[in-house]
């Protein structure tokens, strides 16, 4: 499996560090001077990688003092 962490023990996967990427994104946004942003989130059941990346982004934005409006999105194929 490529592009996401695999939850099945018998499968091997290759993927990027979603948490590090989310934190880097938040730092970049804050470094640009943004202080109010919207964050679109998906449920973990809809996107495992997005859930990890978004959680790290939100945590880092909070740490940097950026205010957020959170929007619950819908995953691809969720109707």
The string of pLDDT tens digits covering residues 41-64 is 877 777 777 888 899 999 999 999
Domain annotation for the chain: domains and CATH numbers: 18-72 (3.40.50.2300)
The residues, any chain, with a CB within 8 Å of residue 8's CB and separated by 6 or more, are none
Contact 66, 35 (CB under 8 A): yes
DSSP secondary structure, 1-37, as one string: -BSS---STT---B---HHHHHHHHHHHHHHTT--EE
Q: What's the whole-number mean pLDDT along residues 10-39?
A: 90
d(CA 30, CA 60): 9
Residue, of 4 and 36, whose pLDDT is higher: 36
Map tokens 């109707």 to a residue. 79
């Amino acid at each position: 499996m490529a592009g996401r962490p695999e939850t099945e023990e018998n499968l091997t996967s290759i993927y990027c560090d979603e948490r590090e990427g989310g934190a880097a994104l938040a730092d970049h946004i804050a470094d640009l001077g943004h202080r109010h942003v919207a964050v679109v989130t998906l449920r973990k059941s809809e996107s495992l990688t997005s859930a990890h990346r978004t959680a790290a982004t939100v945590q880092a934005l909070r740490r940097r003092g950026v205010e957020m409006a959170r929007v619950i999105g819908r995953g691809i194929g969720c109707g």
